[in-house]
Amino acid sequence: MYSRSQLQFHETFQPEPGYLAKLLVLASENYVGNKYEISEKTGIPTGKQKGKVEPHIRFSAYMGLINYTCEKGTYSLSLPPLGDEIYSQDPFLHEQLSKWLCHYNIVRREKGAPQWSFLANEIHPGFIQSISSERIMEQFRKQFDGNLSYEEIFGVMRRSYLEGFFKELDYLNIDETNKNLSFHEISARDELMYVYAYAMMDSWEYILPEKTEITLFELLDRLSFGKIFGLAHDTVNELLDDMSGEGIISVNRQLFPTTIIKTTSSNELIAQLYSRLL
């Protein structure tokens, strides 16, 4: 079960790219300091009770941009391999590719932010149907039995896709009439080839670490590969063939279901993430 503090890690603030970028800089310097010192260094506002420093540290960590520890109010920031590559290639997070990487990390199964991960993995109805806030809360009550409202749990997440940092991805929509939530089907993009591949390997290594070969069903259901990126099943199949052609995976279509054989690791793909950008 999730706690109230886990669900309100953002303190009602949306992620802002300028603040995320400033924390990337500090993490590249292995900065150590409390929230007031971080605020003074970056200009990110904070106060005694609330402020944007700590929510953005947590956002940055969920997005895979930084690692952090906190001991007695003192934060130690550093860059993981993915964050280091993003910082090298796109330090201000202007590229849509960087936003897709942040999106993948914050929604990924088991490691993402709770409400982000729940919507993308557990409650996603596909690309034809929509889902009501009442139905979402009915399902979410199995993981949280507190008294937070739908808006308190999912409001920041929803706004980040409709008007905020993730709007450019066009990942989801809210019907203005009935307020139902739906997910858009999105065409695969060639420049995101290694983002898709990285996400596949990263999820595979975390969720099915003992396997070097998985089925198409495991890819779609256990790893939520299509849903995370808005990709229909036919698109996923085409992507698998493209990845096989690049030597990223091997695909065995002689079996049913189709199986995917792992031939590389997520860390090995990081250096290729931005390689297809013009």
Asked if residue 67 belongs to a domain, the reply is yes
pLDDT at 177 over 90: no
Among candidate residues 68, 93, 118, the one where a domain is terminated: 93
**Structure confidence at residue 210 as a pLDDT band (50, 70, 90):** very high
State how many domains the chain has.
3
What percent of the chain shows pLDDT beyond 70?
100
Q: Kindly tell me if the per-residue pLDDT of 74 is higher than 90.
A: yes
- Taking 80 as the threshold, does the pLDDT of residue 4 lie above it? yes
Task: Give the model's pLDDT for residue 179.
Answer: 84
Residue pLDDT, tens place only, 221-244:
999 999 999 999 999 999 999 999
Q: Is the pLDDT of residue 204 over 80?
A: yes
CATH number for the domain spanning 202: value is 1.10.10.10
Q: Residue 164 falls within a domain, yes or no? A: yes
- The larger pLDDT score, comparing residue 125 to residue 157, is at 157
For residues 132 and 113, state if they share a domain.
yes
119-135: average pLDDT: 91
Q: What's the pLDDT tens digit per position in 22-63? A: 999 999 999 999 999 999 999 999 987 789 999 999 999 999
Answer with the residue of higher pLDDT: 274 or 128. Answer: 274
**Domain of 243, in residue numbers:** 190-272
With tokens 């802002």, the residue in question is 16
Q: Does residue 2 surpass a pLDDT of 90? A: no
- Where among 164, 183, 202 does a domain terminate? 183
What pLDDT does 125 receive?
Answer: 86
The verdict on 161 and 198 lying in the same domain is no
Residue 147 has pLDDT above 90, yes or no: no
Q: Grade residue 217 by pLDDT with cuts at 50, 70 and 90.
A: very high
pLDDT of res. 146: 80
- Select from 151, 183, 215 the last residue of a domain: 183
Of 128 and 238, more confident: 238
Report yes or no on 277 lying in a domain: no
Query: Predicted confidence band at 145 (pLDDT cuts at 50, 70, 90)?
Result: confident
CATH code of 134's domain = 1.10.10
